Structures are given as C-alpha cells and as structure tokens.
Structure 1
Amino acid sequence: MRRRLVAVALVGLCCTAPRASGETLAGALARAYETNPTINAQRAAQRANDENVPHAQAQFRPHVRSDSYIGVERRRTIGISTEIPNYDYLHPDILISIQNNRSLPRGEALSVEQPLFDGFRTKNATLAAETGVHAGRERLRLVEQRVLFEATAAYMNVLRDTAALRLQQNNVALLQEQLRQTKERYAAGEITPTDIAQAESRLAAGRSRAAAARADLEASLGNYRRLMGAEPKQLAPGAAVDRLLPKNREAAERIALAEHPVVRAAQHDADAADLDIKVIESDFMPSLSMVGQVYTQSDIQGRGNRAVGAQVLGKLSVPLYSGGETSARMRQAKEVAGQRKLDIDVARAELLALTRANWGALEAAKAQLAAASAQIEAAERALTGVREEAKAGKRTTLDILNAQQELLGARIGLVFAQRDRVVASYAALAAIGRLSAQTLGLTVASYDPAAHFERVKNSWGDAPLLGN
C-alpha cells in the first residue's frame, strides 16, 4: 500500500504540462548556470575587477604624451628714440617707429616619464588588486551557488505545486461525486438536508483550495522562467544529493569553515585592507622619475624663427605637508583593516549557524517524509473503514467528508515533504560551499574566471584608436 501511494504522489510530481520532451533537474540547473542573467552579470563584474591589476601596474610604466599646438599671433612693436640736433638739449627730436607683424606660432612636443621609485606604491597596489581578484572569484562562486540553489527550489516547487493542484482537482471531482451520492440517499429518505449542505460546503471549499493551488503553480512557473530562462517542460522527479554530503554535521562545519566562499572572500578582503595601508604609506616617501622631452617650435615671437630641442631630466618629489590628508587616510585604512578582520569572525559565526540550521532541516525533512508516508496509509485505512461503517448506518456524511479531507491533507503533506527532502539536501550542500556545477556533474562548459585574468593581468594596453 505504501509503495502504491508514494508512486501516486511521484506521478503528480513528475509532470507540469504535456510536452514532447522531458527535462531533468540536472538539465535545468545546467541551463541556469549558462544563461541566468544574475550569474552572467557577476561574471562581467569579475572581468571588470580583473582590470584593477593592470591598472595598478600602469603606475610604474612609462607615460608617453604628445602635445601639439597652433594659433594666431599679432604683434605691434612701437619704438621711441630721441635725437639731439646740434647739441640742443632743449629741443630734442623724438622719433616714433611702429611695426605690425602677424604669425602662426606652432609647436610639437613628445614627453616620456619613467618612474624609478614610488615608495613601493605600485608593488603593494598590484598585490592588493590581485587579492581583490581572488575575493571577487569567491563572490562569483557565492552567486553561482545561490542561483543554483534557487533554481533547484524553483524546479521542485513546480513539481510540488503541479502535484498539489492535481490532488485538489481530484478532490473536487471526488466531492462532486460525494454530493451526487448524498442527494440520492436524501431522495431515498436515508439522510437529511443537513448532509447535503455539508457536502455542498466541502465542495465549495475544495474549489477554493483548487483555485489557490492553481495560483501557487502560476507563481512557481513564473519564478522558474525567471531563473532558467525558459518555460518548464515535462519535469522528471528531482533526487536528493546526500551522496555529496559529509557523514555528520561536525564534518560539514569543518568543510564550511575551510571552503565556503563567504569566509574565503572575507579573508581576501582582510589581506587587501592590510595592503591598502602600505599603499598609503608610500605617500610619505619620496618618488623619483626620469623625464625626457623632444620638441620643436616655429614662428614663436615673430615670423620665421624656429627652435628644436631635447632634454632629459631627473625628477625628485619629496612630500613635506599635505594638510593632514594623508595621515587621515592612514588612520582610516587601519580602522577598515580592523573591521575586515572582524568580518571574518562574523562570517564564520553566521556560517556555522547556517550549516547547523540546514543540517537540522535535512534531518527533519527525512523524518517528515517517512511520517507523511505512514500518515497516508493510516488515513486511507480510516477512510475505507468510515465508508463501510456509513453503509451500516454507523457513520454520517460528515464523518466521510472529514476522512476524505484528512487523506487529502496527508497526500499533499507527502508532496511537500518530497520537495523539502530534495531542497534541504541542496541547502546543506550550499552551506558547506560545495554547490557548484563541477560538484553536481552538470553537463556544461565550466566558466573559468582565471582565463580572462591571465589575458589582461600583464597587458600594456591596446592602441588608442583600435579599441579593445
């Protein structure tokens, strides 16, 4: 009997709508992994994060700049001279000469500056950027985990709500038949109008619950479409992933503390905060660079002249006083570094609580599934007995309706327990940080964030006019 009832419930969980081809949970998760916009957005964010490394390295590379200018110049020169004819100082001759000139001054200059020492700013900034890249990869893992778990829940919710709707619809059909039989018995004088009213009341309530179940299914279908990017086809039953879990909760907690992306990201953030302090320390140190320039100038301060030159200079910059701004940034960076270290402790505490909660939920789901199966057997035996006793006049119509309602609740409870059993196993796997496409063995092209980083980490940049 138990096997037959469980099989009936699973049939309800297997299908959504008649389609030509079916779909498995693994296939749905593979589609979410490849097409979900949340995952793809985080991957794009991580690729942008990778660019922080060449950005930091660029500070110690040569900076080359070309400057050109051209304009119009108009010059008016007024000359005044004095002559003393015949040594007559009382009556000098004043001569005024005026010259008007126009020219097109222009020039070009090519400048190169190569840093030689920057107080180790570039070195520490590059290390901080690389640490930020590793933290970003952990956050990408976290987003992938979250989406895969949400996709699992959405898949199982569609199965659950489809089965629940079918059970409610079957219940409405059963209540309609019950009402018909009740009216026949009333016509035969066996029962009173009260029995008809009770049957009609249960039928109205059944129709209401069926409508609510249909609304729940529509919501689940919409969520499935949001996560998977497609409408569900005929869905196969989902299976728990207990084989991927450790044997006990203590082992799960140890794995979570060592592997979960939340803890790893917090550790990388703390390391990056320490390096940020060293970057700011470089602002207290002198910097040294070499500057070279080649230039040409034409028609400067008059028409027809030209100058060509080149120079190589050493540039030494020594910070003396910045109004306290550097010191303020240093104090701020130290406080942030302290906060990041405390964030690690917070992450560990929250993760331990989450692991314990999810492990407990998994154990409870196993117990609920066994209890739901036993409840169905007992409820079905009770309904059979009530119907037989009603034929002998020992039970009323209300007793039959109550027994039918209890059996319906037990069957729906089994459907929910089956869903919770699968989802709880995936939640426990996510809590230890191992819910991934690789662990699940999904048939997908695994996204490797390191591939983009390797392409750009030592990039010297593209030609300005060529783009990326």
Structure 2
Amino acid sequence: MGSEMVTLNDAVREALATHPDVRVQSNELQARAQQIEQAKAGYKPRIDITAAGGWEWNDNAATRNAGYKDGRSLIRKEAGARLSQMLFDGYATDSEVARQQARYESVARRPEGVSQNVALDAIKAYLDVLRHRELLRLSEDNLQAHRRTESQIRLRYKAGIGSSVDLDQVSGRRSNAEASRLSDLVNLKDVETRYLRTVGMPAPAELQPVSGLERNLPMSLAEAMEIALAEHPTLRSAKADVKAALAQHEAARQNDYPKLDLELGSNWGDDQNGLKGTNKDLSALIRLRYNLYSGGRDRARKAQTAHLLNEAKEVRNQTYREVVESLRLAWSAYQATRSQLGSLIDYVRATTATRKAYEKQFNIGKRTLVDLLNIENELFEAKRSLVETRYDNLYAQYRILAGMGRLLGVLGAEMPQGPGRGDEELKSFGQYAAYDLKVEDFGPAIPRQQVTESAAPTTVKADITPGGEVVNRIQDWAAAWASGNVDNYFSFYSSAFKPAKGSRSAWRTARRRVIGRAHNIQVDIDDIEVSVQGDNATARFRQRYRAHNYRDVSNKVLRLRRENGRWMIVSESNR
C-alpha cells in the first residue's frame, strides 16, 4: 500500500488476503473435503497382501507321524492376497458420508462468516483512523484558537487593560487544549495499531473518505431480518451442524444390523507347520457378522449422539438469537445516528455563528473572557460530536450489511483460497512491529519532580451550605455514573425514587444494562441551579453525557430529599 491513497475496498481485500483467521477456516474447509473422501472409501473394495519368511519349529501330530519325535525345524515361506468388498454394513457408510458432508457444509459457511467479521473489523479500523485523524485536526485547531486568545489577552494585560486572572484562566484553558490534543494523538496511535493488526499493513498517510451505503440497505428492519435469517453464514453453518449431528445419530444405529462382506483370498506357503512342500489355496466367501451383545456400549452410543443432536439444536437457537440481536442493535444505531446528524449540523452552524458574535462582543467589552472561552469549548465539543456521530452512522450501515450476511457481496470482495503464506507471513508482518511510533510525536517530557509537585494535593474549602451540599452530592452522583460502578450509582437514589416511566425494578434493569455496555463514560454538569426548602431540594442543570456508543446534551431536573443526613434522589426528569 505504501504512500499511495488507499480505499476502503483496498483495506478490506488486504485484510481478507492476509488475516490468519480467514486462512484457518480455509484450511479447515479443505481438510473436511478430504474427510468426505475418507468416508466414501467405505463403498470401495479393500485389497491387502501379506508375505513372510523365517525359521519355524513344530512338534505336532504331523511331525510325529513323519518320525520326528523331538519336533522339526524348517525355513517357512508364505504369501497371500485378500480382497474384501462391503455388501451391507447397517447403513454405517451411508450415515458417515452424510455426516461428513453436513460437516463440510457447516465449515463451508464459516470462511464466509469469518470473512464477514474480518471485513467488518477492517472497516471499523479504517473508519476509526479517519475519525481520529479528524478529531486530532479539531484538537489542533482548538489549540491554535486558544493560543490566539492567550496572545490577545497577554497583549491586553501588558497594555494595562486586562487582568492577571484573565491571563491565568486563558493559560489554563490553553494547557487543557494541549492535553486534549495529546489525548487525541494517543487515541489515533491506538487505532492505527488496530488497523495494522487487522489489515496486516500500516495505515497510509492518505485514506480515501468513505461515503454512505443507504442505497444498499433495506427499507425496514423486518426486511433486513428476513434476509439475515435466510442468508447469514453463521446461522446457516449452525443449521448444517444440526444435520451433521443427525447423521451421526443415525450412524449410531449401525450395530442394530448384521454386516455382510464379500471376501476373495489366495495363499501360498512352503515348508509350513513342520511339513516339507508347497501349499496353495483359493477362497471366495460371503461373510456375515452380527454382534449380539457389546456390554451396553451401543445403547450408550445412541444416547450420546441423541444428546449431541440436542446440543447442536440449542447452539443453532443461540446463534439465531445472536443474529437477531446483532442486526437489531445495528439498525437502532443507524436510525439513532441518522436522526442526530441533522440536529448536530444545525448545532455546529449555530454555535459557529454564536462564537463569531461573542468574539466581536468581547472585543468591545460586552462579553467576558469566560463567555468567550466557554463558547470556544462548546464549538469544539459540537464539532467533535458531529464527527463521532457521522462515523458511527457510517459504521452502523456496514454493521447492517454484515448482520444480513451481504457485506462481502456489496463490497465486491472475494474470500481467499489456498493455504496462506504460512511462515512467510511472520516475516512480512514483523517488519511493521515498531512502525511509526516515535517519542517526539508526544512532545517534550515533563521532569518527574515537576509532575510530583503539580500532583500534590491542595486544600479547598468545602461549601457546607445546604445548597453546596446538594451541588457536591450531584457532582458525586455524576462521578459514580462515569465510573461505571452501577451499585454505587444506585446508592444515590432514594428507596422512594419513582422513575418517569415504568416500575423501579424495570428502571434498575434498564440502567444496569445501559451503563454496563457503555465505555469511556463522561458526565459533565454545567449551569447548576439549586433551591432548598427544608429537607427537600430541586437542582436544575445542563448535563453533557458522552460514551463510546452515544452522546447527548440535555437539561435535567433532580428532586432530592435529605434522608439520614444525605441528599437522595427521589425523581429525575428532562426539561
């Protein structure tokens, strides 16, 4: 791929061609094909030859009748040939061939299923690199904006028309913007490493932007689900496993029947059994074998295969549920992000206009520095939200195609054939192990002593008024939510808490599921207003929620009651 611009399809094809998971399934498929041939060998004749020669001593009636009272030693020679043809084996070969064919059919779907997953992983890695490169550019733009503001405030301070407080505040915001840029740089390096692992090559400097695939999506979830349940390769593989288990169960009945074989044989011998001379024989036999008792082994084998059949059916049922869940989640993500995009575009447009107006008003003294810094940060977060949602929406479209089992077809990607590169792949991939991770990218290191001093605790006077207690309590509630500790989060709610909809039990179950699935949660509380009347309080604030899979800004109202010295939430709602 080198320095040339790479497309999404290029990355997917490279991932499919080199990813070990795909090659593992391809080789297993070829192995299963040979197992079918092994099973079919039961229909064909078997030919064996034997030959032997050596010393032999015999003392038997024949040697004694010949006058050898102490036995006789001779050099024995013999040779033989035998042909055996199965005529009837209780349908054992039929069942084994059917079982191996079903196993092959099961594995034949796995390369497609694994290829769909690898392709989807490659798409996510590709989109994440694009996403985090945009986020890094936004962070760099944000840092430059704060530097310009800092330079302007510094000039005002030197001119005697600005305060040191303003300078300290804007310097702190600029430092925070630098930390944010470094955080985005680290995140970019992380996703580029994931791209390397998935695609097998480093992410190039130029990645072609990705457009949507709405034209390839069904009109409704019902239509998508119908396609998925009919075509998803993993579900079809699970159904084939049931057929294989059924064939295995049928094969367990083979000992209920006799076995019939045609046997043709010829033997030649010289100086055998103590007698000089040559012996020859020919035979053509039809041999019947029928086991009458095997200690209960056959009955146990039938019971075992019956349980294995039931197990295969339950695995199929579980796969059915997983396919349904995966597609529903992808569809919900697509619908939600598509609805959010329009609002976020308007939000960015409006915040951009507000930022320009605030800057003009600040220059003529009608806006404070805090106003200007806050709107700058709000615009930064709005642009980030738009970027995140746009890429979430793109990825959701590909998730839907993968959930239906049609991702490879839409991309025009083909599953690779053959054994793969083997040992050569280690050499090829190894050259990229330390690719493009340079310490200088992260800026100069801070001396350890400075880090220790800056991390030293400072004493802050607590606000012990009732309103201050409520504010502190709400901040602790937001921190518990952000930590993902669900039990700690629930501890902020009164036993008398009533959710806006449904029962308390249903609310707890829903909240536990949502918080448990989210990663990198951030909950910021702004513009908080608290009113206290005795042991009851009302808090109104703006809540900014952000996680890996969802983000939201809302105006929230919490009603709290003092219980045993602690403020507990009794109701919450969005204004």
Is the TM-score greater than 0.5?
yes
Q: Does 1:208 align with 2:208?
A: no
Deviation, 1:32, is: 1.9
Structure 2 Cα separation of the partners of residues 116 and 303 of structure 1: 38
Deviation, 1:122, is: 0.9
Per the alignment, residue 255 of structure 1 pairs with 227
Tell me the SS of whatever aligns to 1:320: coil
Deviation, 1:158, is: 0.7
Cα RMSD (Å): 2.6
Tell me the SS of whatever aligns to 1:220: helix
1:244-295 Cα shifts (integer Å, max 9, x gaps):
1111111111111211123322222222222222111112111011222223
Tell me the SS of whatever aligns to 1:71: strand
Per the alignment, residue 29 of structure 1 pairs with 12
Q: Of 47, 51, 57, which residue of structure 1 is paired with 2:34?
A: 51
Structure 2 Cα separation of the partners of residues 76 and 276 of structure 1: 51
Deviation, 1:204, is: 1.8
Per the alignment, residue 42 of structure 1 pairs with 25
Tell me the SS of whatever aligns to 1:294: strand
1:323-402 superposed matches below 5 A: 323-402=295-374
Per the alignment, residue 140 of structure 2 pairs with 169
Q: For structure 2, which runs of at least 5 residues remain unmatched after alignment?
A: 419-575
Structure 1 Cα separation of the partners of residues 376 and 68 of structure 2: 121
Given residue 222 of structure 1, which amino acid in structure 2 is its aligned partner? T
1:347-370 Cα shifts (integer Å, max 9, x gaps):
333322322221111111212322
1:37-436 superposed matches below 5 A: 37-73=20-56, 103-233=74-204, 234-301=206-273, 305-436=277-408
Deviation, 1:102, is: 5.8
Identical columns (%): 26
Structure 1 Cα separation of the partners of residues 250 and 71 of structure 2: 60
Aligned length: 412
Tell me the SS of whatever aligns to 1:115: strand
**8 Å CA contact retained: 1:107, 1:298:** yes
- The 1:109–1:394 alpha-carbon spacing in structure 2 relative to 1, beyond 3 Å, is same
Structure 2 Cα separation of the partners of residues 334 and 97 of structure 1: 63
Structure 1 Cα separation of the partners of residues 360 and 299 of structure 2: 89
**8 Å CA contact retained: 2:79, 2:267:** yes
Q: Which has the higher contact order (CA 8 A, sep 6+)?
A: 1
- The 1:101–1:335 alpha-carbon spacing in structure 2 relative to 1, beyond 3 Å, is closer
Q: Which deviates further from its counterpart, 348-357 or 358-367?
A: 348-357
**8 Å CA contact retained: 1:362, 1:421:** yes
Given residue 325 of structure 2, which amino acid in structure 1 is its aligned partner? A
- The 1:67–1:202 alpha-carbon spacing in structure 2 relative to 1, beyond 3 Å, is farther
Q: Of 408, 411, 419, which residue of structure 2 is paired with 1:440?
A: 411
1:216-235 Cα shifts (integer Å, max 9, x gaps):
11111111112212122210
Decide which structure has greater helix share. Answer: 1
Deviation, 1:303, is: 8.8
**8 Å CA contact retained: 2:59, 2:274:** no
Structure 1 Cα separation of the partners of residues 102 and 410 of structure 2: 25
- The 1:103–1:371 alpha-carbon spacing in structure 2 relative to 1, beyond 3 Å, is farther
Structure 1 Cα separation of the partners of residues 278 and 194 of structure 2: 74
Structure 1 Cα separation of the partners of residues 154 and 259 of structure 2: 99
Structure index of larger Rg: 1
**8 Å CA contact retained: 1:291, 1:312:** yes
Question: TM-score, normalised to structure 2's length?
Answer: 0.67
Structure 2 Cα separation of the partners of residues 408 and 264 of structure 1: 47
Structure 2 Cα separation of the partners of residues 378 and 226 of structure 1: 40
Per the alignment, residue 457 of structure 1 pairs with none
Deviation, 1:389, is: 1.4
